[in-house]
């Protein structure tokens, strides 16, 4: 709405009313869209589900859209509690279809405490509509190759889900070959590239449209170019962090690979550049 040529944002209030009046006033997809803005506010969603029984069916879809595994179980957080998603799923298995975003944190403490990663693997298979997955391994001696094979297989199956769009990896020795033939991934974030032996250059997928790499060991840079040649044909956005001035050599070849598609470039230099080798 415009008032004196200035945009005016009007607040929208949802007031409990009869089901008939509610569905008459607003289409159901609009109500669902309104609730989507509350996904980061689980307390507000819970309050809405209590306010009117009609809202509960919409709230459920957004309340469980983003869940986290940390230490020993899956949960979603409100400001006052951590709710055990595994217990909720045992009573309401259909909720698994609403889970679109999953964060997994595995620390050295988790492994030392013998957290049952095999059980987690079985739970991962229950999420058929995942669109985004994040894996963060923290602590000394916690690497992808050391995780149980059952867990790694379950995680890789998640990467190949038809619904999967975005992947974030916070692990220094994660082999890029794991992404072979993942055709639906559009956004890929890699915290570190250290494993330079298995880049999986023989596969044409994934073809990310958005790629962020926050650290790449020098010994990996030369091997990264062949991988990029097979995977940069659709790249629109590239964020790359370089730690040393000597690493600038990779940029000319890297940018040539996405010259016709790239629309956004974000270079973070962890040093003061003293030369201009290619500009």
Residue 178 or 70, more confident = 178
Mean pLDDT across the stretch 70-92? 66
When pLDDT is cut at 50, 70 and 90, the band that residue 189 belongs to is very high
pLDDT given at position 174:
83
Burial 206-217 (b: 16+ CB within 10 A, else e): bbbbbbbbebbe
139, pLDDT greater than 80? no
Confidence (pLDDT) at 238: 92
Helix (H, G, I), strand (E, B) or coil at 216: strand
66-269 CATH choice from 3.10.170, 1.10.760, 3.40.50, 3.80.10: 3.80.10
Using a cut of 0.75, tell me whether the model's pTM lies above it. yes
Structure tokens at 210: 């958005």
pLDDT given at position 1: 45
Strands (DSSP E) contained in 61-140 are 66-70, 73-77, 82-84, 101-107, 132-138
Q: Which residues pair with 2 in a beta bridge?
A: 7
158 pLDDT tier (thresholds 50, 70, 90) = very high
Measure the CA angle with vertex 123, ends 41 and 92; round to 5°.
60
What confidence tier does 67 reach under pLDDT thresholds 50, 70, 90? confident
* Helix orientation angle between 218-231 and 250-257, rounded to the nearest 10 degrees: 10
| Distance separating alpha carbons of residues 94 and 85, to the nearest angstrom | 12
Q: What is the pLDDT of residue 50?
A: 78
Contacts of 16 (CB under 8 A, 6+ apart): 51, 52
Q: How far apart are CA 208 and CA 186, in angstroms?
A: 4
Q: Which residue has the higher pLDDT, 139 or 17?
A: 139
């Amino acid at each position: 709405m415009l008032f004196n040529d200035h945009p005016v944002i009007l607040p929208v209030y949802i007031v409990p009313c009869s089901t008939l009046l509610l569905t008459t006033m607003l289409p159901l997809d609009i109500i669902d869209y309104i609730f989507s803005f509350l996904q980061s506010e689980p307390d507000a969603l819970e309050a809405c589900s209590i306010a009117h029984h009609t809202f509960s069916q919409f709230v459920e879809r957004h309340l469980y859209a983003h869940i986290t595994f940390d230490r020993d179980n899956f949960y979603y957080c409100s400001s006052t509690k951590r709710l055990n998603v595994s217990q909720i799923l045992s009573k309401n298995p259909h909720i698994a279809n609403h889970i679109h975003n999953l964060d997994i944190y595995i620390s050295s403490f988790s492994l030392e405490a013998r957290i049952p990663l095999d059980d987690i693997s079985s739970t991962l298979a229950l999420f058929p509509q995942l669109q985004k997955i994040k894996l963060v391994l923290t602590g000394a001696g916690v690497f992808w190759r050391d995780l149980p094979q059952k867990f790694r297989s379950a995680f890789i199956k998640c990467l190949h889900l038809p619904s999967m769009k975005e992947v974030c990896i916070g692990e220094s020795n994660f082999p890029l070959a794991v992404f072979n033939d993942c055709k639906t991934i559009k956004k890929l974030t890699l915290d570190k590239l250290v494993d330079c032996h298995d880049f999986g250059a023989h596969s044409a997928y994934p073809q990310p449209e958005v790629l962020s790499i926050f650290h790449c060991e020098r010994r990996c840079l030369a091997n990264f170019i062949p991988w990029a040649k097979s995977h940069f044909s659709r790249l629109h956005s590239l964020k790359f962090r370089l730690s040393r001035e000597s690493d600038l050599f990779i940029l000319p070849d890297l940018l040539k690979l996405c010259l016709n598609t790239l629309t956004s470039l974000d270079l973070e230099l962890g040093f003061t550049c003293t030369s201009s080798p290619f500009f």
